[in-house]
Amino acid sequence: MFEQAFKDVLSNLTTDQLLIDKLWKEIKYKYSSSRRFYHTLTHLDNLVEELLPVKNQIEDWQTVILSVAYHDIIYNPLKKDNEERSAALAYDRLTQLGLPENQKEKCRQQIVSTKMHEANNNSDTNYFTDADLSILGSDPNSYFKYAGQIRKEYRYFPDVLYKPGRKKVLMEFLKMKSIFKTKYFRDRYEEQAKINISDELKSLS
């Protein structure tokens, strides 16, 4: 699903098929790393699946798909600047595609927004970050599969370090006035997300 959406967008930006293939192979390689368990190509497929129902509400679908493509392309659980580095790489790739400065900057900002998932003045960004968090409001089985995948990605950390860090992240979500910033995602996932997060917090105690 994501592969087709990505290639469709690139086909509208360039006739250079070699460049399109090169950019896709880079994304496939990065997201297929054996060190990844949740932040994989499946995650990108899920984002597109979540966004398609609101496609008509999104002003710049092209940029959102590019943001989906690159938002986790750099992912190292031992580092705290993954979003910034992913955004920088995206900016470089969009430069290769010849995109205008305002579109490159919009993509950069959308990717960096996944660091805190706070409300944004740009509605496209809110739809994008909400889709990125949609797993939080999934059914309990899917949620705990996700939680287990995140734990595997942070397997370098013993429980004595991982659990307090994970609790802090989860508590930040519960402190938010609303986890989801758009009505569509809020109505769909907010209630279940709070239940799932609370249940995971109990399991970490």
Residues 47-72 have pLDDT tens digits of 999 999 999 999 999 999 999 999 99
Contact 18, 87 (CB under 8 A): no
Contact 64, 54 (CB under 8 A): no
pLDDT value of position 180: 98
The one-letter amino acid code at 171 reads M
Output the tens digit of pLDDT for each of the chain's 205 residues: 999 999 999 999 999 999 999 999 999 999 999 999 999 999 999 999 999 999 999 999 999 999 999 999 999 999 999 999 999 999 999 999 999 999 999 999 999 999 999 999 999 999 999 999 999 999 999 999 999 999 999 999 999 999 999 999 999 999 999 999 999 999 999 999 999 999 999 999 8
Indicate the domain borders of the chain. 2-118, 136-204
Kindly report the average pLDDT of the chain as a whole number: 97
Assign residue 75 a region: left if phi > 0, alpha if psi is -120 to 50, beta otherwise?
beta
Q: Where are the alpha helices (DSSP H) in 75-182?
A: 82-96, 101-112, 123-133, 140-153, 159-175
pLDDT value of position 2: 97
pLDDT value of position 101: 97
Contacts of 176 (CB under 8 A, 6+ apart): none
